[in-house]
Amino acid sequence: MPMVQIPAGTFLMGADNNDPAANSDERPQHPVTLDSFYIDQYEVTVAQYAAFLNANGGHAPAACLGFSCVKTQFETLESHLIWNGGTVYQAAPGFEAHPVNNVTWYGAVAYCQWAQARLPTEAEWEYAARGTDNRLYPWGNQPPTENLALFAQTFDALLPVDALPAGNSFFGISGMAGSLWEWTADVYAADYYLTSPNTNPTGPAPQSVRDPRVLRGGGWDSSTPDLRVTARQANDPLNSDNFSSNVGFRCARDAAP
């Protein structure tokens, strides 16, 4: 997976008061300063996740920090990840470069650790998406179109992770709006922005293995407001039954000092 280095900098995190689509958990807007970091240029693909499962003994809890990793075609029709019922995993032919979905938060954490990386913090994700110019969407302020993002569709409409370069973010990151919601490292709290540190925030302290975690970016079934760079979604880290096939992730890594 190619990674892009995001330079250290300060940006405005959260929605401004002129955004009528913003929810209360996106405010107040506040300055955040981040150290430099790397982030995957694309969402993790089916083939990449299959390689992780093959190297780590499968998608049972033993491979993912004691929790289930992912749903395959054995468990759901909305998957391009094939499991033969044994120890072999592979992408469905022709779907190797599609983003992997149905991944639990623990399945994403375990993959990133295997790749010698980690999940991005919520602040890192937003900075990589919007940069320093306070844009509304990763590509700018233009409303989304089918050439910029995959949204308001069905699972069958999913595209390869590099399919829509016109929708790349401020820093050239692909697929940060639509396609799949993406896990971040942070525990979700609706009022976190009221007390968030202004330097390298990492979210509220976890209290339980079932603390909801933050999803960002919108998915294939999202409406336009979910594609805004400030939109936030809380989700069960083990994926509730009604919120799974539109969930994926990408990894991040600290930059060398």
pLDDT digits 0-9 by tens, 162-198: 999 999 999 999 999 999 999 999 999 999 999 999 9
**Residue 243's pLDDT is what?**
57
pLDDT digits 0-9 by tens, 211-231: 999 999 999 999 999 999 999
70 sits in the region (left: phi over 0; alpha: psi -120 to 50; else beta) called: beta
103 CB-near residues (< 8 Å, 6+ apart): 44, 49, 69, 70, 111, 183, 239, 247, 248, 249
- Domains of the chain by start residue, with CATH: 3-44+110-254 (3.90.1580.10), 46-106 (no CATH)
**Residue 160's pLDDT is what?**
98
**Residue 41's pLDDT is what?**
98
Measured in degrees and rounded to the nearest 5, phi and psi for residue 124 equal -60, -45
- On the CB side of 28, CA atoms within 13 Å amount to 7
Q: What is the pTM of this model?
A: 0.97
- What mean pLDDT do residues 106-126 have? 98
- What mean pLDDT do residues 18-36 have? 97
Q: Which two tokens stand for residue 181?
A: 């919601």
Which of residues 195 and 61 earns the better pLDDT score? 195
| Nearest in space to 37 (alpha carbons), one of 60, 6, 68, 69 | 6
Please report the sign of the dihedral spanned by the C-alpha atoms of residue 213, residue 168, residue 144, residue 81: negative
